[in-house]
Amino acid sequence: MKQKGISAMGIVIVIIVIVVAAGAGTYFLVLKGPGDFGEAYITGLVDENGNTIVSGGTTDQKVQHIKGTVKNPQPDETTFKGKVYLNFNGADEEIPAYNDGTHGDETAGDDIWAFYETRVLISGANTFLIIVKDEAGNTVAQSDEFTVTANIPVMDIWIQLTWDTDGTDVDLHVWDPGNEHTYFGQKTEAAGGISGAELDVDDVNGYGPEHFTMQSAQVGDYVVKVRYYSAHGVTANTTATVRISIAGGAYHTYTHTFTPDDVTTETGYSTTSGYDWHVATLSMTGTGGGTVTAST
Ligand SMILES: [Ca+2]
Ligand SMILES: [Ca+2]
């Protein structure tokens, strides 16, 4: 298949990494040859209308699908021997890769694995980068940085939930000052959720993300909570990460580790129930600003 940058593969590049152990006066020399880097590619963004955007481009669509390919750190294996991360606007988010002819994978069972990820952009500059690590946690490949400028309104509230286990279902919940509630059961105002707000998707099988966006927030407190809804048989702990940006400002980032025992069978939802992770309270001014207070 065509891959951006593959024409440069014939050039022998030797990257010399010198790590100086400060104080000990000891030098470690690590040589990396061709093939160690450059086998992760972002081939493009695709918006909801099917339009493809190349790096450096602009868009007026906030929902974008990021597609591309990576190679398995150990060739000829039927499972991926490592982890793939999408660095989206500065944060590494673990993502799945497929070699079964789905999610944009062109040939099942070869050495090329595909990813297909959805993200909700912020207004202005957005950056994407793919990082591949082996099973020991060493970075073995990294894509070129992919940039896109989103000509979309600044959101008073932008929230993203991701987590680090495959197959699990974690849910983002937001209540507004009037106790209106947006979650998977009512993602939009039309479905009974918060007026003027939207949850883009309920991810039920691993990693997320789920995004909550609201262009014009009311005056008052918004409560952000996360529930571990179903482990779907996964026995490992799940660490969830929530990023919050108020009016396009810097990210507030919070993490919480759930054990399988934290999955709750409770069916009620409230701002005060004790079996969810209370992430933060957003105290909005109603004029495009507010403060974020982490739950204690
Ligand atoms: Ca393949
Ligand atoms: Ca979910």
Tokens of 288: 């495009």
Superfamily of domain 40-150: Immunoglobulins (2.60.40.10)
Q: How far, in Å, CA of 55 to CA of 72, rounded?
A: 24
pLDDT tens digit string along 70-107?
A: 999 999 899 999 999 999 999 999 999 999 999 999 99
**Residue 36: Cβ within 10 Å count:** 16
Q: What is the pLDDT of residue 38?
A: 53
Task: Tell me how far the alpha carbon of residue 86 lies from the centroid of ligand 1, in angstroms.
Answer: 19
Q: Tell me what the mean pLDDT of segment 14-27 comes to.
A: 36
Q: What is the pLDDT of residue 273?
A: 85
Mark out the alpha helices in 19-158 (DSSP H runs): none
Residue 26 has pLDDT above 50, yes or no: no
Give the distance, in angstroms, between the CA of residue 110 and the centroid of all CA atoms in the same chain: 26
Task: Tell me how far the alpha carbon of residue 184 lies from the centroid of ligand 1, in angstroms.
Answer: 32
Q: What is the pLDDT of residue 267?
A: 87
Task: Tell me how far the alpha carbon of residue 110 lies from the centroid of ligand 1, in angstroms.
Answer: 5
Q: How far, in Å, CA of 228 to CA of 263, rounded?
A: 5
SS3 123: coil
Top-ranked range on mean pLDDT: pick from 17-26, 32-41, 129-138? 129-138
pLDDT tens digit string along 245-279?
A: 999 999 999 999 999 999 998 889 999 988 899 99
Query: Which residues are placed with Cβ below 5 angstroms of ligand 2, an ion?
Result: 169, 171, 202-203
Q: Answer whether the bond into residue 73 is a cis peptide, omega within 30°.
A: no
Query: Which residues are placed with Cβ below 5 angstroms of ligand 1, an ion?
Result: 99, 105, 107, 110, 112
Task: Tell me how far the alpha carbon of residue 228 lies from the centroid of ligand 2, in angstroms.
Answer: 8
Give the distance, in angstroms, between the CA of residue 76 and the centroid of all CA atoms in the same chain: 28
What whole-number percentage of the chain has pLDDT above 90?
Answer: 82
pLDDT tens digit string along 190-219?
A: 999 999 999 999 999 999 999 999 999 999
Q: What is the pLDDT of residue 296?
A: 76
Between 34 and 168, the higher pLDDT residue: 168
Give the closest ligand to the alpha carbon of residue 238. Answer: 2
